[in-house]
Structures are given as C-alpha cells and as structure tokens.
Amino acid sequence: MALIDFKCIKCGEKFEEIVKLSDRENIKCPKCGSEDIKQVFEGKCCSVGSSKGVGGCSSGSCGGCSGCH
Ligand SMILES: [Zn+2]
C-alpha cells in the first residue's frame, strides 16, 4: 500500500488515499463523489517511490514518476 495523491477532474479537489494498487480503480472524490479522478505526483514520488521503500527517483528510472526529474 502507498499514500497516493489524487485530483478530482470534475471539481478539482485534491486528496490523499492509502490504497493498494489494485484498488486504484475504486477511488472516489471525497468532495463530490466523482470517480473521475487522476493520480498526481508533484514530486512526491521521490519520497514515496513506485513501490514501498524501494527505488524512488534516485535511480532516474522511477516507474511511478511523471516527470519530476
Ligand atoms: Zn470531486
């Protein structure tokens, strides 16, 4: 599991959820209830990493990073 940042496409609400990767499809916006959300990174992947405690961005090949390095 990981603490992941999400942003609601519908209302713009940002929120964090602790989710298993397999549960990502089921996340809903806590504000408007929309399932129309996307995952955001905003550099946080450098501390969280793509998998728990492993890798991160230091290797420059973080699979969960959308371009913070
Ligand atoms: Zn929303």
Q: How far is the CA of 17 from the centre of ligand 1 (A)?
A: 14
pLDDT category, 66, cuts 50, 70, 90? low
Q: How far is the CA of 44 from the centre of ligand 1 (A)?
A: 21
Q: How far is the CA of 59 from the centre of ligand 1 (A)?
A: 34
What HEC string does the chain produce?
CEEEEEEECCCCCEEEEEECHHHHHHCCCCCCCCCCEEEECCCCHHHHCCECCECCCCCCCCCCCCCCC
Q: How far is the CA of 7 from the centre of ligand 1 (A)?
A: 8
The verdict on pTM exceeding 0.75 is no
All structural domains of the chain, each given as residue ranges with its CATH number in brackets, are 1-69 (2.20.28.10)
Q: How far is the CA of 15 from the centre of ligand 1 (A)?
A: 9
Pick the more confident residue, 30 or 60.
Answer: 30
What confidence tens digit (pLDDT) does each residue in 11-50 have?
999 999 888 877 777 889 999 999 999 888 755 455 544 4
